[in-house]
Structure 1
């Protein structure tokens, strides 16, 4: 638990996060010298006040990316970055992807939830994304696993606001899969999970969404033992990248193991959640609005 002075500092920073305040303004508002504020804050949080403001402004930027139509330039100015280039560099460093890619990818992962994100690289090849930078953790678990000696673990570490989520994920080239239909299969175990599932997305060279499934129509809830789950998607000719992972919405814990990608016959039904031409009628209907 932080001391009262550090709690006051954080409250004041949060209240004026997007204002053009200097350190002297915060010190005057709180009633301590800027030197005392700086020393106390750094000692207890490990961050300078400037570093805290920068990270929180990037978190605000992620919300703007997901919940507004503001351009990246407008968001960079709103969050007090000197240029779009400076904002993009800072965002990519913290979130492991540029803001445009983040906006495109994260909106599809949780289409009905509210979002903001963080990243880490504790497990080789994987990184963590989600809604609250401190709300989820990821690791290789040596005590709980389905086969072998380890599983991937994703868990909530703090209080959850409605709509927050975490995902452990990775991305790879679609080059070896173009023109094929694949099945991504895995085993998942959960503990008191509000909502959980595997997900997979296929993007074009321009970053456009081509195929997607996040198990939203068959999500896992509560506490479950190891069960087998699969996602089946086509890889169109213009595919460039494949992204996949484990999704945990809200509180709880989840483990994933035995992830496998394999080509399947076209007779195997896809689980793609994105509408295709085949879903549309061949001709327009009810043009005179006479049918009910």
Structure 2
């Protein structure tokens, strides 16, 4: 398990990283928890690794123009410890605490997780439920991609060639907004065999992000339509759970069959809805 030979470059700015990507068959290195195993198995053979983990403009959490802005290179541990984020959306810190182990949380970054787009990753469900936008930058400048449009398939996203995620932008929630992230974790990896993020605003709008069930994370729009503006009572929750996955095609692998995954999705959607109720 020895990687193929590659060069290493440390970028000090986002523009430096974008330039390095455009000049070679490079891969970005942030936390590295997904990239390094791929290098060892030679599933990925970049000519260069561009280290972006110390670019200051990609770090930190602040409020700007009515949005919570999380820098793409902000680690899970930093997200868990941020007082402002915990005061606005405490379920994000709680959900982050379920990811991996302490080493993963100390080095893993939110931008790296979203760019990798593992169908069993936790962050995709949470950014979907918070109605986030993904801010990216490339040779043509900056643009925003709604989280609902960002995940396009199995380990694939709407990122164009040589683009870098720079920040995640979440609308500041109205006071009284509640949220939760519930998952059935694979015991060894702690990835989500199924994960459900649910958010309810004081006005009754409900948003639900699902991960682990299909080849990409998605919004459970059928369930949202049933629940939004209505009481989260047993009848409405039952109807939402039945409608949520009617047209989905669950994955089947060595960890769980498609039938079992769909069963888990219904169980954990119900748990999430009862929590925000």
| Pairwise same-fold verdict (TM > 0.5) | no
Q: TM-score, normalised by structure 1?
A: 0.31
Q: TM-score, normalised by structure 2?
A: 0.32
**Bigger CA radius of gyration:** 1
Instruction: Choose between structure 1 and 2: higher helix proportion.
Output: 2
Instruction: Choose between structure 1 and 2: higher strand proportion.
Output: 1
